[in-house]
Amino acid sequence: MNNSIITEFMILGLTQKPELRRVLFIVFLFMYIVAFLGNALIVIAIIYNTTLHTPMYVFLLALAIVDIVYTTSIIPKMLVTMLTSGRSISYESCMSQLFFFMWSLGAEMVLFTTMTYDRYVAICFPLRYRTIMNHHMCVSLLSITMVIAVTNSWVHTGLILRLTFCGPNTINHFFCEIAPLLSLSCSPLRINEIMVCVADITLAIGDFTLTCISYGFIIASIFRIPTAEGKRKAFSTCSSHLIVVSLYYSPVIYTYIRPASSYSFERDKVIAALYTLVTPTLNPIVYSL
């Protein structure tokens, strides 16, 4: 329920410089097209190719869908604000954008851990892989991922909905993010800040730790591969995956572990671009290869 005086927000965007906005528009439009088409092609290929109906590709399918929702909930509106003077967004649309952003954020983090676990079982227990990663296990892991993502999104969106916004209504960001919204509220923020920190510790730091542990076991298994060529290929795959995962988790952990009062929005907008656009663009390239 909207208890606020404000009925719409104004989104400042990444920069106020017109010449820089045009350059950034072209760059982000290109990245969005690459991210959307890359992930869409993965979805189509996996759905229509029955030989790809295996756990690894099912998780990749889920990641591609999440990335499409992730980028589409944020980037088109950001591009509009860069190119036109239409920077306003209604209260309801802002809350919807926040919901889908938080859902995608939670789903992506849990999916990275799930995909790493799948590779851990495949490399460390190859003979038992089909037994462990059966249909029931895949459905269970995907269901857990969705439950965590929806819970994460409902909690944070619900806590924002209970706040009152008295003015000003200018969001110093390129989308409806938690921190800039908290800075505009005239309500007590203690519960919101605690829940953001709890989610960051449990989801971001927790999932990143589990992912690193799984890769530790995977790398240990790679050392036991007898051929140098086999080790090289395995290390090449693992290193590219770890780079993408680190590019995603690092800015997310940095952004949400701090209280809202310590945010520097000009710097944090650039950091947010890493996990809202760069990682979803790299995912289809790295994981499909």
Residue 86 has a pLDDT of 66
Kindly state whether residue 88 falls inside one of the protein's structural domains. yes
- Average pLDDT value for residue range 73-94: 86
- Average pLDDT value for residue range 83-96: 85
Domain count, the chain: 1
- Average pLDDT value for residue range 161-176: 86
Residue 152 has a pLDDT of 92
Question: 58: domain CATH number?
Answer: 1.20.1070.10
**Crossing angle between the packed helical segments 75-83 and 55-72, to the nearest 10 degrees:** 30
SS3 content of the chain, % helix, strand, coil (to 5): 80, 5, 20
Phi, psi (rounded to 5 degrees) for 233: -65, -40
Determine the structural domain holding residue 193 and report its residue range: 8-288
pLDDT band (50, 70, 90) for residue 110: very high
Kindly state whether residue 137 falls inside one of the protein's structural domains. yes
Kindly state whether residue 3 falls inside one of the protein's structural domains. no
Q: What is the pLDDT of residues 257-289, one digit of tens each?
A: 766 656 666 777 888 888 888 888 888 888 776
Q: What is the pLDDT of residues 3-51, one digit of tens each?
A: 567 788 988 887 777 778 888 889 999 999 999 999 999 999 999 998 9
- With a cut of 90, say whether residue 185 has pLDDT above it: no
Q: How far apart are CA 112 and CA 153, in angstroms?
A: 18
Give this prediction's pTM: 0.88
What does 183-248 look like in DSSP terms, one character per residue? HH--S--HHHHHHHHHHIIIIIIHHHHHHHHHHHHHHHHHTT-SSHHHHHHHHHHHHHHHHHHHHH
